[in-house]
Chain A
Amino acid sequence: MLAYLVKRVFQAIAVMFAISLVSFAIQDNLGDPLRELVGQSVSDEVRQQLRDELGLNDSFLQQYIRFIGNALQGDLGTSYFFKEPALDVIMKKLPATLELVFGATIIIIGLSVPLGVYTAIKPNAIASRIIMGASIIGISVPVFLTAIGMIFVFSVELRWLPSFGRGDIVHMWGPWSTNFATVDGWAHILMPSIALASIMLPLFVRLIRAEMMETLQSEYVKYAKAKGIHPFRIYFVHALKNTLLPVITVGGVQIGTMVAYTILTETVFQWPGMGFMFLEAVNRVDTPLIVAYLIVVGFIFVVTNTIVDLIYGLVNPTVNLARMGA
């Protein structure tokens, strides 16, 4: 177990190292920090002097080491636009994105398991056919169109739900303010969460259904029936536990996609999260903020992937955690 953990952590560090290299390369080539600092109207001499002072004439390696050193201390540069430390800017936006992802994840897990299991157990029922039909439409509608469609119906036509922003949020702790404390907050987060879940949910329903149907064909399920085990226990203990293994793997892969979809969802709903901020930063060529976003997103991605791998190892008894670490 410990060896496995150590190996996973090393892998995570390696990926973070690669991300930091890419990020630094971007920082080095994108935009001109000097212009942001002093503008255009400075003589070449002063310019050179400033470059020396800022260390911009140092070797790539020296600059990279300095970059890493600063990053490890939480210093990812100062946003050109906000004139604030880039990390602080992101930390202020992070809770909004995390709450959105949380809402969507609840919808995905809460619905995909029962729907997937039901359609696998009763493949010919009318309800199953409807669910499967809806799921193929679901995977065919891009997230941003689901979002626009919902805004059009529920905000523009029916005027039931707000179309942008977070609404009334309640301050919780540090940079974290929550949507889940007020009715208005719930109303604001409802559509963005559904939109973010809209393409993942049918994907998982189909995946769980396919895996479950395969598992239900297995010898051990037939054997459980031959032992007189109740169907409920067969479905939800014997079959579902085996079904979840590949689902967890796919779930880990989908985390990155989820982050990408937050950018789309936040753009449509003008949700004040990291994704929306990232696109604005790109339009403003706010290099430190872009780089900080990459590193923070990369970090979240690496951490969640590592956690998913560990969960997989815990759920699946045939993964010998100790041996995998070797």
Chain B
Amino acid sequence: MSSLSTNTNRPSRLARILNSNMAYSFRRNPVAMVSMGVFLLIAIASIFAPLIAPFDPYDPANIDIMNSEFPPVWVDGAEAEFVFGTDDQGRDLWSTILYGTRLSLIIGLCAVGLQAFLGITIGLLAGYIGGRLDSLLMRLADIQLSFSTLMVAIIFLAITQAMFGSETFNQYAVYFLIAVIGIAEWPQYARTVRATVLAEKKKEYVDSARVLGFGPIRIMVRHILPNSLSPIFVISTVQVANAIISEASLSFLGLGMPPSQPSLGSLISSGFDYIFSGSWWITTIPGVVLIVLVLVINLLGDWMRDVLNPKLYKG
């Protein structure tokens, strides 16, 4: 009986949290509203990049080296065609930034999706099954956490690049980046989910669900998982911000997206050589976009942490 009632209450409780408390504090928090607005703007702009961008930066036919290093339109010597100027290869910077942001976002979101999938699965298993498996997985999580993600990623990508050569590497760079950032950070999720599982497992409704003959997977997914949603939300925002920074850092080092298919990080990297010669915009404008993107995600994460106030797993 108690399992039936919790079963029907559960989604509505979540809906109530999302509808009332969060919405209320969202309306009262101008920082959260502006951040959300800016994030949606960037997200929509990058989703529709092919429609918005005046040029296709991946199409060599569009690129003329003679157009290189035009400044943005508000600076002397600009071409009206190129709003934010052009980069060192003569690509329209505005279009390249749109496509680059799209790549950065895709890699960030997919990597975090992979982290969440691995982490939640492992966390549920460790918490639900417990015993030896639990201690083994958590020991693994400790070790994994003590290695810096960025360090592991740098070494892995550097070796991969050296082994396969730049050309093959560049072709699959997106997948390498998603995989390496995605695999390295699963313990964050696993620990939090495991903690919730351990707390929920003791509760009555889980017992009654078991007595009623529901399988472990159903119990975990339908009954236990919803209780870890708020910490998962909070972790995810921070992780997306971190993943975007990691991707940008790796691409900046030349271990990520190639200049022919630049993400924000590789765009900044290719512009870095030119800031001494005065072409500051190739680095600065994508740099600002990157900072704004990460900042609004972090601000949203901070706001969410304040509202949901989840018990996050601490070291």
Could you mark each residue 147-165 of chain B with 1 if its beta carbon is under 8 Å from any beta carbon of chain A, else 0?
Answer: 1111100110011011100
Please list 13 pairs of residues, one from A and one from B, whose beta carbons are closer than 8 Å in the complex, sorted by A's number.
Answer: A136-B295, A140-B245, A141-B291, A142-B265, A249-B315, A257-B148, A258-B148, A261-B150, A264-B253, A282-B162, A290-B159, A290-B162, A294-B155
Please give, as numbers and ranges, the residues of chain A lying within 8 Å of B284 by CB-CB distance: 152
CA distance A306 to B158 in the complex (A): 27
CA distance A305 to B142 in the complex (A): 13
Shortest C-beta distance, A47 to chain B (Å), equals: 21
Quick check: is A263 within 8 A (CB to CB) of the other chain?
A: yes
Contact call B146/A252, Cβ cutoff below 8 A = yes
Quick check: is B205 within 8 A (CB to CB) of the other chain?
A: no
Quick check: is A319 within 8 A (CB to CB) of the other chain?
A: no
CA distance A156 to B245 in the complex (A): 25
Contact call B275/A152, Cβ cutoff below 8 A = yes
Contact call B163/A140, Cβ cutoff below 8 A = no
CB < 8 Å neighbour of B154 from A145, A255, A260, A283: A260
Quick check: is A256 within 8 A (CB to CB) of the other chain?
A: yes
CB < 8 Å neighbour of B315 from A253, A267, A294: A253
A26-B159, A151-B275 are known contacts. Are A263 and B245 too (CB-CB below 8 A)?
Answer: no
Contact call A30/B253, Cβ cutoff below 8 A = no
List A residues 132-179 near B (Cβ within 8 Å). Answer: 136-137, 139-145, 148-149, 151-152, 156, 163
Quick check: is B314 within 8 A (CB to CB) of the other chain?
A: yes
Contact call A139/B298, Cβ cutoff below 8 A = yes
Contact call A136/B147, Cβ cutoff below 8 A = no
CA distance A137 to B265 in the complex (A): 18
Give the interface SS of chain A, mostly helix, strand, loop or mixed. helix
Shortest C-beta distance, A252 to chain B (Å), equals: 7
CA distance A151 to B284 in the complex (A): 12
CB < 8 Å neighbour of A260 from B148, B159, B299, B315: B148
Quick check: is B290 within 8 A (CB to CB) of the other chain?
A: yes
Interface size class of B (residues with CB under 8 A): 35 or more
Quick check: is B39 within 8 A (CB to CB) of the other chain?
A: no
Residue of B nearest to A247 (CB): B315
List A residues 251-275 near B (Cβ within 8 Å). Answer: 252-261, 263-264, 267-268
Contact call A152/B253, Cβ cutoff below 8 A = no
Residue of B nearest to A286 (CB): B162
Please give, as numbers and ranges, the residues of chain B lying within 8 Å of A151 by CB-CB distance: 275
| Given contact pairs A145-B291, A256-B148, a sample of 9 additional A-B residue pairs in the complex whose CB atoms are under 8 Å apart | A141-B291, A148-B268, A152-B275, A156-B275, A163-B276, A260-B150, A260-B154, A261-B150, A285-B162
CB < 8 Å neighbour of A140 from B148, B252, B295: B295
Closest 10 CB pairs of A and B: A256-B148, A260-B150, A140-B295, A257-B148, A260-B151, A140-B294, A249-B315, A282-B158, A142-B245, A144-B252
CA distance A282 to B255 in the complex (A): 10
CA distance A252 to B151 in the complex (A): 14
Please give, as numbers and ranges, the residues of chain B lying within 8 Å of A254 by CB-CB distance: 148
Shortest C-beta distance, A130 to chain B (Å), equals: 14
Please give, as numbers and ranges, the residues of chain A lying within 8 Å of B150 by CB-CB distance: 257, 260-261
Please give, as numbers and ranges, the residues of chain B lying within 8 Å of A13 by CB-CB distance: none
Please give, as numbers and ranges, the residues of chain A lying within 8 Å of B241 by CB-CB distance: 140
CA distance A66 to B302 in the complex (A): 52
Please give, as numbers and ranges, the residues of chain A lying within 8 Å of B155 by CB-CB distance: 294
Quick check: is A279 within 8 A (CB to CB) of the other chain?
A: yes
Quick check: is A21 within 8 A (CB to CB) of the other chain?
A: no
CA distance A259 to B150 in the complex (A): 9
Quick check: is A29 within 8 A (CB to CB) of the other chain?
A: yes
Contact call B162/A256, Cβ cutoff below 8 A = no
Quick check: is B106 within 8 A (CB to CB) of the other chain?
A: no
CB < 8 Å neighbour of B253 from A136, A249, A263: A263
CA distance A141 to B149 in the complex (A): 17
Contact call B291/A140, Cβ cutoff below 8 A = yes
Shortest C-beta distance, B247 to chain A (Å), equals: 10
Shortest C-beta distance, A24 to chain B (Å), equals: 13
Contact call A148/B151, Cβ cutoff below 8 A = no
Shortest C-beta distance, A100 to chain B (Å), equals: 16
Quick check: is A69 within 8 A (CB to CB) of the other chain?
A: no
Number of interface residues of A (CB under 8 A): 47
List A residues 28-84 near B (Cβ within 8 Å). Answer: 29-31
Please give, as numbers and ranges, the residues of chain A lying within 8 Å of B295 by CB-CB distance: 136-137, 140
Please give, as numbers and ranges, the residues of chain A lying within 8 Å of B46 by CB-CB distance: none
Spell out A's residues near B (CB within 8 Å). Answer: 15, 26, 29-31, 136-137, 139-145, 148-149, 151-152, 156, 163, 246, 249-250, 252-261, 263-264, 267-268, 278-279, 282-283, 285, 287, 290, 294, 297, 305
CA distance A317 to B232 in the complex (A): 33
Most chain B CB neighbours (cut-off 10 Å) among A148, A254, A305: A148
CB < 8 Å neighbour of B268 from A26, A145, A253: A145
Residue of B nearest to A14 (CB): B143
List B residues 223-262 near A (Cβ within 8 Å). Answer: 241, 245, 248-249, 252-254
Shortest C-beta distance, B304 to chain A (Å), equals: 13
CA distance A264 to B251 in the complex (A): 11
Contact call A259/B151, Cβ cutoff below 8 A = yes
Contact call A29/B163, Cβ cutoff below 8 A = yes
CA distance A246 to B291 in the complex (A): 29
CA distance A140 to B158 in the complex (A): 25
Contact call B315/A142, Cβ cutoff below 8 A = no
Shortest C-beta distance, B42 to chain A (Å), equals: 14
Residue of B nearest to A31 (CB): B162
Could you mark each residue 30-55 of chain B with 1 if its beta carbon is under 8 Å from any beta carbon of chain A, else 0?
Answer: 00000000000000000000000000
CB < 8 Å neighbour of A145 from B253, B254, B290: B290
Contact call A256/B154, Cβ cutoff below 8 A = no
Contact call B146/A253, Cβ cutoff below 8 A = yes
CA distance A255 to B252 in the complex (A): 21
List B residues 118-142 near A (Cβ within 8 Å). Answer: none
Residue of A nearest to B315 (CB): A249
